[in-house]
Amino acid sequence: MGIGEATNVTTGKARLSYVHLFKPYAAMQGQEEKFSVTVLIPKTDVETMARINAAIEAAKQKGITEKWNGACPPIVPTPVYDGDGVRPSDGMPFGEECKGHWVFTASAKVDYPPEVVDKMGNPIINQSEVYSGMYGRVNVNFFPYSFGGKKGIGCGLGPVQKLEDGETLSGGHVSAAQAFGAPQPASATHPQNGGVQINPITDVIFCGVERPRMFKRRRYG
């Protein structure tokens, strides 16, 4: 799946939260670790949202022909939520940073680390420059899934471009291990804030994630 496909979208400028782009992460012990980021699309960016909605509809059509035995489910869960509403996981309001935004989480399996580049398109080597609260663009691919009796639309993570700095958010601080490559003890399962990090989209299905394949994966260093 690549750029030009109906299910593929590169966002406009968005704020990024729960950033785990260099080191795979799982919110709960026992979950599959993945690269992931939560994307906050301003509601004023109607052009990006129109393309996202079109991509989701295209993914539904793929689901009918490829995953759902020729029929669309009456209700198709999608990964995009209203930041002015409540979290589907617990019914509590989204964080203040989500107000006035559409919110979704994209992820990629450990075999497909996303390319992370600066605004000039150069690879970002210093991982401390990438953090929750910065602004950037994200390439994503929406895809249909069917497993365990559940059917819906998921969101695969592709390349990420940092555009500018922003006020740091609490979700997904860069750790020493992420910045400097130091190994973490096996027991270090909690993030820096002293508790398990709960992604605001905790019920997003991170299964069989397809990563957009528009770029050949590069190896650096």
Every domain of the chain and the residues it spans: 8-169
Do the bridges between strand 116-117 and strand 8-10 make them parallel or antiparallel, or are there none, so unpaired? unpaired
- Of 102, 79, 87, the closest CA to residue 200 belongs to 87
DSSP 59-88: HHHHIIIIISTT---SS---S-EETTSB-T
pLDDT number for residue 198: 45
Q: pLDDT tens across 100-110, in order?
A: 999 999 999 99
The counts of H helices and E strands in the chain are 2, 8
* CATH class of the structural domain 8-169: mainly beta
C-alpha to C-alpha distance for 157 and 136, rounded to whole angstroms: 14
- Residue 187 has a pLDDT of 41
pLDDT of residue 123: 97
Write the secondary structure of 105-116 as one string of H (helix), E (strand) and C (coil): EEEECCCCCCCE
> Residue 218: enclosing H or E segment and its boundaries?
none
Query: What is the model's pLDDT at position 165?
Result: 96
Q: Are 72 and 64 in contact (CB under 8 A)?
A: yes
**Residue of 98, 112, 89 lying closest to 36 (CA atoms):** 112
If DSSP states are collapsed to H, E and C, what string results for 140-155? EEEEEEEECCEEEEEE
The two three-digit tokens of residue 145, written as one number: 């899934």
The secondary structure element, H or E, covering residue 57 is helix 46-62
Between CA 78 and CA 50 the distance in angstroms is 15
Residues of the chain with pLDDT under 50: 1, 172-198, 200-221
- How many Cβ atoms sit within 10 Å of the Cβ of residue 196? 12
Task: Give the chain's largest Cα–Cα span.
Answer: 49
pLDDT value, residue 28:
83
pLDDT at 112: 95
Query: What is residue 119's DSSP assignment?
Result: T
